[in-house]
Structure 1
Amino acid sequence: MGGSSIDDDWELASPSGGPRTLVLVGCTGNGKSATGNSILQKKAFVSDANSAGVTRTCEMQRTVLYDGQILNVIDTPGLFDFSAETEFIGKEIVKCINMAKDGIHAVLVVLSVRTRFSKEEAAAVNSLRTLFGNKITDYMIIVFTGGDELEFNEKTLEDYLGRDCPEPLRELLNQCENRAVLFNNRTTDRTKKDEQVQELISLVNLVVAKSGGKPYTDELFVEMKKGARMLHNQTEVSKQENEEKLIKRLTEMVELKVRETTARLEQQLAEEKAARLIAQKMAQTAQMKSSDEILKLRESLERAERELRDQAGKAKCVIL
């Protein structure tokens, strides 16, 4: 499943009644692979509590739901951590597009309730829009992992997203029209497992209905599909050569977008850092000014007290 070659069955999937493709994205350590296993209800993806991340390459697994609906679940490495090489990210995104066949029915943005939503994560989600266009937001569902921790503290997802919800996360939820679900990937309760998957599938069905049954595609999907058709009737030798050229061309397209996105992200973070430094300097200046004013006020009070004591002493001498 993890191979990079272009498959020949691009025409087999039916956008309306065929398999639905879900892609897991998010920063390393948020529990993408464990969430994939919960959706599939089997240990298909390697999952471990490892800060460095376990998933090394895009991988697709398939399951059939009780109603006969086929789900393709694609797990991805931390493509949006921006710690990986641009070439690696490019190749993995192209591989993901190849696996997605006729498009993506839902993008599952995996976040963890164990860690506070950071500006870096917000920037990573923004990079998703930069790479695939603003339209991708219509297909996004937020999956919060760490449901066991909230349950232990007798809290709900609504409690977690209450008054202390960071503004960037609130903005992301608004963009996704509050499509969010809480997953407990550690539960052994079969009913709980079924309920959270059904809640997610309901949101996927909502996305599918809103999009008129049309999965997300962009120019990369079009190029991939066009290339697959051209390769279909070629000999094995020429097919391999042209396939390599197609992969290279698509990877270069993605790499260019990734570089542009990374540069924009770095500029944004640099501007935010500069703004923070200016704010800190202004705060320090205000504090120093305040300290000076307090010192002057204290000196004025001490001087006034001395003058009062001197006047009282003089008055006593006059009386005597």
Structure 2
Amino acid sequence: MGGSSVDDDWEQLTSSPNGEQTVVLVGRTGNGKSSTGNSIIGKKSFKSLRSPSGVTSTCELKSTTLSDGQIVNVIDTPGLFDSSVGSEFVGKEIVKCIDLAKDGIHAVLVVFAVLNRFSQEEVAAVRSLQTLFGSKIVEYMIVVFTGGDQLEEDDETLEDYLSRACDDSLKDFLILCENRYVLFDNKTKDECKRVKQVQRLFSLVNEVIAQNGGQPYTDNLFAELKKGATKLHDQQIELDSFKGYSKGEISDLKNQLQLSYDEQLKRITEMVESRLRETTTKLEQQLAEELAARLKAEENAHAAQMRSDNEIRKLRENLERAQEELRKKGGCAIL
């Protein structure tokens, strides 16, 4: 998985106390996911390496200890909300993300930039996550708005921005997330300010954890990957205790076990990719139907407006004729 051995993943998993929290950053490329991750960590841990297509290369996990002693695992993801990437890429990265967060996810941080419009592809991506992981995933979502420095320059609060520029799609999404949102200035050099905005974020994370009974989000994919990693690790430990095998034979057997685990990952990845393709097809159809319904409603509204305008025009013409007839008869116009 991304060049790291299962032994490394296992060491990270088993060395983590129950009090650790794992958050995942998702959002469109350019919204500031990596910068937000660096603000949480407190240093430049996530590199903004980009491929020619403009997409962060792969999922990464970094850990930090917050000022209150809370240990946090932060997973940065590629642009899973980008329409330019295919279901194969997204599927592999989702499985990689789940593999990094075997014990579950305490919060999904959906990152938006205040200067970018909430796009239809972001709406579709959120719906894809709901379809893939179930509607309960929304209960773990927190919105992080980046660009706090830009709002500050304009002497504007986040509430000012939302009341001015928040369209219906974004309003609906914020309601879906029970208005859990926070503003980040990822360019600040003020350590006190950075710590305060991280504290505000994790007060929401703690709220999410409390509302979900203290349990991180997991599903059958998490369980299957964790079970496979546990089995592989136990078998590798068992091999190390065998006295009747040479080092070369033990190495070969471990390689065979690794290949078996890799096959499991491949099967799960193909399943996720298949789900994503089905979801994408359904969403495209749904969005097309919604667009057709909206256009039909606009057409009906336009037709109704034209009928109203025609009726008003006819009334005016009738009134003008009546006034003209009165003038010809030497009468007095009422109006």
Structure-1 residue corresponding to 2:244: none
Paired letter, 1:297:
L
Paired letter, 2:18:
S
Structure-1 residue corresponding to 2:205: 204
> Separation in 2 of the partners of 1:50 and 1:152?
32
- String of CA shifts for 1:80-108, please: whole Å, max 9, x gaps: 33431111111010011111121112111
The within-5 A match list for 1:167-186 is: 167-186=168-187
Segments of 5+ residues of structure 2 without an aligned counterpart are: 237-252
Q: Given the superposition, is the C-alpha separation of residues 186 and 50 from structure 1 closer, same or farther in structure 2, using an over 3 Å criterion?
A: farther
CA apart distance, 1:50:
11
- SS of aligned partner of 1:312: coil
- SS of aligned partner of 1:188: coil
CA contact (8 A) 1:16 1:213 kept: no
Provide TM-score, normalisation by structure 1: 0.86
Q: Given the superposition, is the C-alpha separation of residues 102 and 250 from structure 1 closer, same or farther in structure 2, using an over 3 Å criterion?
A: same
Segments of 5+ residues of structure 1 without an aligned counterpart are: 314-320
Structure-2 residue corresponding to 1:317: none
Structure-2 residue corresponding to 1:107: 108
Are positions 1:242 and 2:234 aligned together?
A: no
Structure-2 residue corresponding to 1:138: 139
Paired letter, 1:192:
K
Q: Given the superposition, is the C-alpha separation of residues 253 and 129 from structure 1 closer, same or farther in structure 2, using an over 3 Å criterion?
A: same
Q: Given the superposition, is the C-alpha separation of residues 306 and 35 from structure 1 closer, same or farther in structure 2, using an over 3 Å criterion?
A: same
Are positions 1:275 and 2:293 aligned together?
A: yes
> Separation in 1 of the partners of 2:4 and 2:315?
74
> Separation in 1 of the partners of 2:45 and 2:5?
21
CA apart distance, 1:208:
2.8
CA contact (8 A) 1:56 1:77 kept: yes
CA apart distance, 1:70:
2.4
Per mean C-alpha deviation after superposition, the further-off stretch among 125-134 and 229-238 is 229-238
> Separation in 2 of the partners of 1:44 and 1:10?
17
- String of CA shifts for 1:102-140, please: whole Å, max 9, x gaps: 111211111222233344433322322211112222222
CA contact (8 A) 1:109 1:143 kept: yes
Q: Percent identity?
A: 62
Structure-1 residue corresponding to 2:226: 225
CA apart distance, 1:305:
3.9
Q: How many equivalent pairs are there?
A: 312
> Separation in 2 of the partners of 1:244 and 1:189?
45
> Separation in 2 of the partners of 1:118 and 1:82?
11
CA apart distance, 1:48:
8.7
Paired letter, 1:123:
A
> Separation in 2 of the partners of 1:111 and 1:71?
21
Structure-2 residue corresponding to 1:3: 3
CA contact (8 A) 2:55 2:79 kept: no
Structure-1 residue corresponding to 2:196: 195
Are positions 1:95 and 2:96 aligned together?
A: yes
CA apart distance, 1:5:
5.4
CA contact (8 A) 2:50 2:56 kept: no
Structure-2 residue corresponding to 1:286: 304
> Separation in 2 of the partners of 1:268 and 1:169?
18
Q: Given the superposition, is the C-alpha separation of residues 82 and 254 from structure 1 closer, same or farther in structure 2, using an over 3 Å criterion?
A: farther
> Separation in 2 of the partners of 1:277 and 1:176?
28
- SS of aligned partner of 2:29: coil
